[in-house]
Amino acid sequence: MEHVTASEEPSAALMYHVERPIFNEGYIDSELLHRKKRTPNCSSEKAKSVVFGFLPILTWLPSYPLKEYLFGDIVSGISTGVMQLPQGLAYAMLAAVPPVFGLYSSFYPVLLYTFLGTSKHISIGTFAVISLMIGGIAVREAPDSMFAVNGTNASQVVDFEARDARRVEVVVALTTLVGIIQFVLGLLRFGFLAIYLTEPLVRGFTTAAAVHVSVSQIKYLLGVHTARFNGPLSVVHSLDAVFRNIASTNVVTLIIGLVCMVFLYFIKDLNERFKKKLPIPIPGEIIVIVSTGISYGMVMSENYGVEVVGKIPTGLLPPKIPDFSVFPNLFPDAFAIAVVGFSIAISLAKTFALKHGYSVDGNQELIALGLCNFMSSFFHTFVVTASMSRSLVQESTGGHTEIAGLLASILVLLVVVAIGFVFQPLPTTVLAAIIMVNLLGMYKQLKDIPALWRTSKIELAIWLVSFFASVLLGLDYGLVVAMGFAILTVIYRTQCPKNALLGQIPDTGLYFDVDEYEEAEECSGIKIFQSNTSIYFANSDLYVSTLKAKLGVTREVVAGPKKQMDHVYTNGQMNENNTESESEDDFFLQRLTPIHTIILDFTPVNFIDSVGAKTIKSVIKEFATVDVKVVLAGCSRTLLSDLRTLKFFCEPVTPDLIFPTIHDAVLHCKRSEGLITETADSTNS
């Protein structure tokens, strides 16, 4: 019987009283708990749930509050669309395709996400990190050397039109494959995949990507012509190429780029300082792009040799089936991009969802991104994900729903269909300035280093490995190395758990580390061992050795007759019916303290495998040879189910040796030893 009483005085503490029998797993499973009978779901309700889950727009659009939300969504949509235009053009340059394809990628996927996405605030479209990864693959699959007109290295002339056409084919095929991978992972409920890309890993990776992007834009800022490098040490090779050609810097190009960077930084600073007073952010990128009129009037391309965007076709291209023949070469890259793209999108989505009090579905986000990329690829787009800078603008300007993204895509469509030609005289150095200023937010992630140094050295190591591996080895290999290192840190943590002997806080049912707390007192003759880890093949040996070290027992060779053992545990393996020899494998546990019971606290144990189960069973049998009883406490229902599946419960191990709490186990053991009477149990509880 459980009672909670409270004094009428506000200052008095609530009192918690429990009076019940001592429970063990045998009693709980047979008498206390009864499983619910499962009733089949109504098929029509299930079908409706599936449809609404696949098309989230059906859940919120019918109840869309026009008066409350529409104005904010319109302002947000226009602001985001204005920002999406220059970024689409700029990030297409990173993706190694003509600028107009960045505009296509800023329209089709954004439109589709309105119907399929569960986040109300992220802005789907082009993103620097993903675009750079795409560009590296496009350059690798369609290098300049493949399109040399005369075929000589001495005076190589490149057919740029054929090269760009082939790169578009590669990028579109890559986008199709990324979409398929994301869609399939979503159907298989792999939305949890993002948790393996821990936040320090992603932030280190994106900071490294910012370095790659910045280095790739220096040549456009200076107006020098160098090859595009990819793979390990590409940053070093790119910087070397730029410095070798720095004497050919176009001064006019450099001045334009620097002026644009200073202006954009100033505007961003103003927007940040006065974001609460400004109804919408000042569109610095559009103001800069309007300056293309100056470029056009001064004929900078012809008079000063300033490189410009060039031809932008008006209107949309007809759909086309991707080139499936390149899929085998692209699959590893596509998988990496699919995971990184999803990780970035779901991280932003969860951030805004937490801030505004709604939930996002990771699996549906995978499906949404997959369909956005797959279906849009037939219309000549490249891979998209959520953009950090645009998402912040969409949220800060009053966006409430996905309608803001829909309006942003319509604005991009109007530009593509009607006025795309006005961007043709835009200097590429302006796009480089837009990209580099937009990367400032990523460079602020360098502040993570001192913060992680103070809070978690392991997470700091993940951040640094992710950053340096991605900078030096390239984004693809760097990501693999970073994920491998992150997994190694998990293994390291399982091999170095916190182990403790627990003691009771007097007059309570609470148990804490006796080495850490003065109030914790060990129960006479009882040792309570806790290891903050699960028990499986990789650490079962360590668990046993740590347990015996904590208990103060040793393994010693004992002279005497041979003894038949039912089980002998050796190096993670269980050998049955082995006869002891007179070697060092012949031992009895020699007690250094008068222990009659050992309680293994399984509260931190999330899972156990067959090796771990056999190990614990072996421990129980070993200690039984010296009349020490071993019981388990705090097993979850899932863990108990696993133990039953592994046939853990057979003589001499029975469910009666499993207790729901440490206190149940302690009281049972004391009564078994005659240290307390049955009538005194409740007093001790």
Instruction: For residue 624, give the CATH number of its domain.
Output: 3.30.750.24
Picking from 116, 70, 643, 23, the residue whose alpha carbon sits closest to that of residue 367 is 116
* Residue 486 sits in the same domain as residue 503: no
* Residue 226 sits in the same domain as residue 339: yes
Torsion angle defined by CA atoms of residues 422, 425, 428 and 432, in that order, rounded to the nearest 10 degrees: -40
Q: How far apart are CA 128 and CA 134, in angstroms?
A: 10
| DSSP classification of residue 423 | G
* Residue 99 sits in the same domain as residue 209: yes
Rounded mean pLDDT, 567-580: 43
Q: At which of 492, 510, 528 does a domain end?
A: 492
Kind of pairing, strands 597-601 and 658-659? unpaired
Quote the pTM value. Answer: 0.73
* Residue 288 sits in the same domain as residue 383: yes
Q: How far apart are CA 225 and CA 599, in angstroms?
A: 72
Q: How far apart are CA 549 and CA 165, in angstroms?
A: 68
How many residues does this entry show for the chain? 685
Domain that holds residue 641: 499-551+590-673
Q: How far apart are CA 448 and CA 389, in angstroms?
A: 19
125: left (phi over 0), alpha (psi -120 to 50) or beta: left
Q: Does 524 fall in a domain?
A: yes
Kind of pairing, strands 499-504 and 511-513? antiparallel
Q: Does 238 fall in a domain?
A: yes
Name the least confident of 49-58, 71-80, 522-531, 590-599: 590-599
Q: What is the pLDDT of residues 526-545, one digit of tens each?
A: 999 999 988 988 888 999 99
pLDDT bucket at 420, cuts 50 / 70 / 90 = confident
Picking from 391, 514, 357, the residue whose alpha carbon sits closest to that of residue 113 is 391
Q: Does 562 fall in a domain?
A: no
Number of domains into which the chain is organized: 2
* Residue 481 sits in the same domain as residue 534: no
Q: At which of 492, 519, 540 does a domain end?
A: 492
pLDDT over 70 (residue 423): yes
Tokens of 113: 């996400």
What are all long-range contacts of 263-268, with beta carbons under 8 Å and residues at least 24 apart? 263/287, 263/288, 264/288, 264/433, 264/434, 264/437, 265/437, 265/440, 268/437, 268/440
* Residue 473 sits in the same domain as residue 519: no
Residue-level pLDDT at 678: 54
Tell me the one-letter amino acid at 475: L
Better-scored residue on pLDDT, 365 or 495 = 365
* Residue 218 sits in the same domain as residue 296: yes
Q: Would you say 545 and 535 are in contact if contact means Cβ atoms under 8 Å apart?
A: no
* Residue 524 sits in the same domain as residue 443: no
Q: Does 568 fall in a domain?
A: no
* Residue 457 sits in the same domain as residue 513: no
Q: Does 16 fall in a domain?
A: no
pLDDT over 70 (residue 431): yes
pLDDT over 50 (residue 193): yes
Q: How far apart are CA 141 and CA 146, in angstroms?
A: 9
Run of H or E including 526: strand 526-531
Q: What is the phi/psi pair of residue 122, to 5°? A: -75, 145
Torsion angle defined by CA atoms of residues 169, 175, 178 and 184, in that order, rounded to the nearest 10 degrees: -100
Q: Does 7 fall in a domain?
A: no
Residue-level pLDDT at 378: 95
Q: How many CB atoms lie within 10 A of CB 93?
A: 21
* Residue 421 sits in the same domain as residue 272: yes
pLDDT bucket at 216, cuts 50 / 70 / 90 = confident
Q: At which of 470, 492, 514 does a domain end?
A: 492
Picking from 643, 435, 620, 610, the residue whose alpha carbon sits closest to that of residue 540 is 610
Q: Does 67 fall in a domain?
A: yes
* Residue 517 sits in the same domain as residue 663: yes
Q: How far apart are CA 92 and CA 549, in angstroms?
A: 62
Residue 575 pairs with which residues in a beta bridge? 568
* Residue 123 sits in the same domain as residue 195: yes
Picking from 154, 119, 199, the residue whose alpha carbon sits closest to that of residue 482 is 199
Q: Does 20 fall in a domain?
A: no
Q: State which of 32-41, 335-344, 558-567 shows the largest mean pLDDT.
A: 335-344
Rounded mean pLDDT, 575-597: 52
